[in-house]
A and B are shown apart, each in its own frame.
Chain A
Amino acid sequence: MTAELLEKKPNPIANKRKRSGKEQFWLIFRYTSLTFIWFLIVMPIYVLVVNSLKGVKDVYLVNAFDLPKSLDFSAWPISWSGGDYFSAFSLGESMTRTLFFVVQSSLISAIIGSINGYVFAKWKFPGSNIVFTLFLFGMFIPYQAVMIPLVQLVTNMGVNKSIYVLVMAHVIYGIPICTLIFRNYYASIPDELIEAGLVDKASRIRIYRSIILPLSLPAFVVVLIWQFTSAWNDFLFAIFLTGGSPKLSVATTTLNFITGSSNQVFYGLNMTASLIVSLPTLVVYIFLGRYFLRGLLSGSLKG
């Protein structure tokens, strides 16, 4: 698996205690460059954080990079509840709702992915490779190409304002990547394990339950995190399928925060709201970044 390769480092030739001048130069060069890039990467987040600590009104473009004069958390509760500034949208409400649906869709996706992955890796049927390839193509399509019929469908069914439409969408359009991740993971399990089970007269289902499933935790973590992050960050389905209802999902609420519905734009609140909605995925990333990366690399088919 590609992701494992990241942990493997080449043999360093140089003995750490004695470095020639040339090696010393390159080492300093590398650290300097890495640090410079680090600043570039962190800068936008830095701007988010410092400006969320400046209260509601003290936030101006010209002092975007300045540290707050004094820590002012007043923008946080207002962003969370909407308050008097954005009475129409409560970020807290839509975050709770989004969390609820994102967790549901991730769990369902993982279960489906695991079963499909098992079949495509270890229980093939005639034509299964072609079916799998057709699944893979579904991973890359622009969802715009299915969106309008989908909108018509949910409108006709009268469910276009329901959060379950989003659950369904993320589950269905998540089938390809979830199947792929599990299939690749199961492909690395030796066939002998399955054959040993078959020789012992265990059924294929039984083998899945008692041999494959207990080994699947890492793949489950990868899929759960992947589906969680992409559903949480999703904007396309949210904006099309909820009929423009801004309150339903966190992405649409955030957008309405940013574009603002009142005449005045409160940057402090915008920054704070953006930071708050980024926190769940950031927390997941901090603790389970390795698994997130694996999902990411699977998306290139090279995982």
Chain B
Amino acid sequence: MSQNYLKVKGLSKKFGNVVALNNFSLEVARGELVTLLGPSGCGKTTALRLVAGLERQDSGTIFLESRDLTLIPAHHRNMGMVFQAYSLFPNLTVAENVAFGLQMRKVDRSARIKKAHELLDLVGLDSQSARFPHQLSGGQQQRVALARALAFEPEILLLDEPLSALDAQVRSNLREEIRRLQLSLGTTTLFVTHDQEEAMSISDRVGVMNEGRLEQIDTPDDLYNHPKNVFIANFVGLMNQVSGTKTGKSVSVFGANLKVKNEVVTDGRVLVYIRPEFVELECTESDADAKVISRLFLGSVSQVICQLNDGTIVHSLLSSRMSAEFAPGIRVKIRVNEDEVLVSNG
């Protein structure tokens, strides 16, 4: 995939004295769905709004192929956008909402009505086309908003936490639907969310943001398995932090010597990062590392929560069949089923 359809370079934005976005760069390939993920206040929404043209950057450039969008106002950018909620025009019917962008582009009436029905059909709401937004459920409203954003065939689709106001069940359905539509229409999409499950499940690539910077952008797999730094490791997925002792390129933890992935850390006591699925447990009477506090049954897998002698909590993800024996109070020995780990001075 050539990654130069949307090119954002060196965007910075301050609100008063608060730096919202700091030298943010991003390239998105045609047809790709890229998600910006991060805690609230990390600048992901600002980045999206700058791309949409709803805010003006202090510095930096935005290109779509060879077109310079940097100074183009929002209404000439030809981007579709779905907001968190409340963004349907209450005075227009569902069909009129969807046709709004086409009306602004002076598409004639019959053509835009036809297109509106086509899109409403795509999101499964053509039967509601004559209704008004307040007569729809939250999930339906967001579907309409999606149809509206896609109606004028935008070059980029921007999604600003479109699912965050919805119930869990509706959220996961709509999430899959967004992905299905995006793939079938081939619309290049920039998606913003604070929900990592959402981000990981539907994206081609996920960019994790922190304090106005893009920390790492990779496929969901790489992000999870090869986090570039401790922030990513902690932010994406569940991560155990246990103390170990580092000497040179190896670290000793739970009696094993593991390779250190990141080498900038000084020797001595360090924090070692281990995913729960790499923590294996074994019942023991004598040389126990920890005691089981509780076991959460999650279906095919279970999460066993243990407490080390120094008080640290360690999570282990085991298949449910294997973990039945780890009842609360059982003393266990811990084995790390991984060769290379991230460490930090902590």
Contacts and interface: CB of A to CB of B under 8 A. Distances in A.
Interface of A: 11, 13-15, 17-18
B55 to A, nearest CB: 7
Report which residue of B56, B58, B74 has the largest number of chain A beta carbons within 10 angstroms of its beta carbon.
B56
A15 B74 contact: no
Shortest 9 CB-CB contacts between residues of A and residues of B: A15-B56, A13-B54, A14-B56, A18-B56, A13-B55, A15-B58, A13-B56, A13-B74, A15-B55
Nearest to B14: A15
Interface in B47-62: 54-56, 58
Interface residues of B, number: 5
Contacts of A13: 54-56, 74
A18 B55 CA distance: 12
B332 to A, nearest CB: 45
Contacts of B54: 11, 13
Nearest to B54: A13
B200 to A, nearest CB: 31
Interface of A: prevailing SS: loop
Contacts of A14: 56
Nearest to B58: A15
A18 B54 CA distance: 14
A129 B54 CA distance: 45
Nearest to B71: A20
11 contacts: A11-B54, A13-B54, A13-B55, A13-B56, A13-B74, A14-B56, A15-B55, A15-B56, A15-B58, A17-B58, A18-B56
A113 to B, nearest CB: 33
A11 B58 CA distance: 17
A17 B15 CA distance: 12
Contacts of B56: 13-15, 18
A18 B57 CA distance: 10
Given A11-B54, A13-B54, A13-B56, 8 more contacts: A13-B55, A13-B74, A14-B56, A15-B55, A15-B56, A15-B58, A17-B58, A18-B56
Contacts of B58: 15, 17
B83 to A, nearest CB: 12
Interface in B8-59: 54-56, 58
Contacts of A17: 58
Nearest to A14: B56
Nearest to A18: B56
A72 to B, nearest CB: 50
Interface in B226-255: none
A15 B74 CA distance: 14
B50 to A, nearest CB: 11
B81 to A, nearest CB: 14
Nearest to A16: B56
Nearest to A19: B56
A17 B58 CA distance: 9
A19 to B, nearest CB: 10
Nearest to B57: A15
B337 to A, nearest CB: 50
Report which residue of A11, A14, A15 has the largest number of chain B beta carbons within 10 angstroms of its beta carbon.
A15
A13 B74 CA distance: 10
B11 to A, nearest CB: 13
Contacts of A11: 54
A15 B16 CA distance: 11
B164 to A, nearest CB: 19
